[in-house]
Chains A and B, each alone.
Chain A
Amino acid sequence: MNSSMSVKTMHRISEIFKFLVLLIFGVILMAPFIWMVSVGFDRTANITMPFPPRLIPEEPSSFNYGIVFENGRLIQSYINSTIVTVSSVVLSVSSSLLAGYAFSKGKFKGKKILFFIVLCTLMIPMEPRLIPLYTLFNSVGLLNTFWPLILPSIISGMLIFLCKQFFDQLPDTLREAAQIDGAGEFKIFFRVYLPLAGPIAATMIILSFIWSWNDFMWPLVVLNNIDLHTVPLYLASFSQENGSSLGGLTMALATVSILPIIILYLFLQRYIIQSIALSGVKGE
């Protein structure tokens, strides 16, 4: 009786200890965000950062946010990022659904070798393709447009792979039934399998969205016109112009650029975390 009590209390103590460790480390991870929001509300932080750091500014003001929004470039960059991201997501998800389905349910010559080629694209990084793609889009006069950011999304080895794995789990009997009714392959795909692909489509949309929204090196190369800058490009150019001065403005800008993504993440966290985990446990 006594020993079981002590085991229980030991267990409770270790639980509390675990919780505290997790909490402290969580606060450390969140500290940059908390400080960012605080400094963003501090007008004086543009001259020197408040030191020692404090959670609530001495004279809280929305001055920095006012400036960030008055300068139309942030909103413009949001519009640009949205156009690019939505188009890329639509293109990559639809082409990958088609290919993933064909690799899962199709019977055709060269299926294995073609799928191997798709897997090979996973190993090709962006850097060696940077210059030829730049000259390619330059030669057709599409530099400083959104096309170079959108069109290459048509191929995504990762999305095809995830999609194939999903369709592999769906039974072939659905196809056979529809075939007896005389439905063609496209009809079978659109009427029978696509309506069942909701979960994997959501995952693909989330992954494709994150990749496209955060893309930096390639947009940096093809977009010189500041009116076309996406959010990461605008942030980088702002940061390069001001370095570590204008802390208040920089932090307000960082807050405004991160906030929508964080809100989206908080609403969809279950799906986002699942998607990331799915793209990561592919080894099994």
Chain B
Amino acid sequence: MANNRMEANTPPPSVSPSIQTVTKTTKQKKRTSQWIWYIFLIPSFLGIILFMAYPIVESLRLSFFKSNGTIETFTGLDNFRTVLTSGPFWNAVWNTFFIGIFQVIITIPLGFIFATLINSASKGKNFFKVIYFLPNVTSIVAAAMIFQFVLHPEMGIVNFVLDSLGLPTPAWFSDPSTSKWGVILLAVWHWIGFVIIICIANLQAISKEMYEAAKIDGASSFQQWLFITIPNMGGTFAFLLITGWIGALQRFNEVYVLGGPNGSPARSIQTMGAFIYERGFTGFEFGIASAATYIMFLIILVFTFINLKISKLKL
């Protein structure tokens, strides 16, 4: 009896400490799991501090100094004044915008049309996808190298075709008045595959039911395209506009290959990126180049926000 009572009584006191230890360990575990997560983030945030935050702040500081990398003197807003009153800088802004605008307004509609054609094709869907995307996987540097010959005024295939069709043959990269169009052609050729792939991916995400409902109502396939497909692609067009435009503002590789750091002929294809490279790494005017990068950075940010506002995209 006594034993029984003992047994009956013993559990409660022995249970309660065990519960306590359990809650204690989970609390401890919670605390350890709190800090253990920061270990997961160490590599990335080390990178953010060293290669993102520090350079972006340091670049702003540098833009207030006259500097060649070793000797620095504070000059206030002089660098910004120099850049903003410099003809070559505004020329570079103009070139960048000109090429970028035409790249975007040609490639997005054209790419979209081909995406709908590929998407509705009954045969060879994958074949066309692969072919159309091929230019985009080749590096833009190699592409620029090829285009120097493709658009050669006398020996290039484009002018050969134009000539045999009886059309005028521009001098492309040899003439400052047509060289930007050469870069635009290259950009369209290189980017259209990307536009097509993104469009196809989003076309396939539009629900089939909408098309079926429209078919029952007797809508033609062109009407379906106009009233269902296009309105549903708004977000995609906005995304392409943003990525395309921001990429265009940073254009450098192909114009460097085609025209060198000063964008020859006659600075006609020098972009903002090339201007910064020219002042920073051929002239070693770090202060002026930094001021120019900040102006470019602000331009990019402004357009990013405008684009985000227009497209109501949530980032």
User: What residues of chain A have their CB less than 8 Å away from a CB belonging to chain B?
Assistant: 15, 18-19, 21-22, 25-26, 29-33, 35-36, 39, 48-49, 51-53, 94-96, 98-99, 101-102, 106-109, 111, 114, 117-119, 121, 123-136, 138, 151-152, 154-155, 160, 184-186, 189, 210, 213-214, 216-217, 220-221, 231-232, 235-236, 238-240, 243-244, 247, 250-251, 253-254, 257-258, 261-262, 265-266, 269, 272-273, 276-277, 280-281, 283-284
Question: Does A36 contact B146, Cβ atoms closer than 8 Å?
Answer: yes
Among residues 273 to 309 in chain B, which have CB atoms less than 8 Å away from a CB atom of chain A? 273, 276-277, 280-281, 286, 289-290, 293-294, 296-297, 300-301, 304
Q: How far is the CB of A27 from chain B (nearest CB, A)?
A: 9
Q: Taking A32-B146, A129-B59 as contacts, is the C-beta distance between A258 and B138 under 8 angstroms? A: yes
Chain B's interface: helix, strand, loop or mixed, by majority? helix
Chain B: CB-nearest residue to A154? B47
Interface residues of B in 24-38 (CB under 8 A from A): 33-38
Beyond A35-B150, A125-B250, A281-B201, is A131–B141 a contact (Cβ under 8 Å)? no
Shortest C-beta distance, A52 to chain B (Å), equals 6
Q: Kindly specify which of B77-85, B153-161, B208-216 makes contact with the partner chain.
A: B153-161
* A236-B257, A262-B138, A283-B239 known; A95-B55 Cβ under 8 A: no
A121→B141 contact, CB < 8 A? no
Question: Count of chain B residues with Cβ under 8 Å from any Cβ of A?
Answer: 101
A222 to B46, CA, bound (A): 21
Q: Is the CB–CB distance between B55 and A128 below 8 Å?
A: yes
Judging by beta carbons under 8 Å apart, are A154 and B293 in contact? Answer: no
B252 contacts partner chain A, Cβ-Cβ < 8 Å: yes
16 residue pairs A–B, Cβ–Cβ below 8 Å:
A21-B117, A32-B143, A32-B147, A35-B150, A51-B155, A118-B44, A129-B56, A136-B54, A154-B46, A189-B40, A214-B141, A235-B142, A235-B257, A240-B260, A261-B138, A281-B198
Whether B45 contacts A114 by the Cβ 8 Å rule is: yes
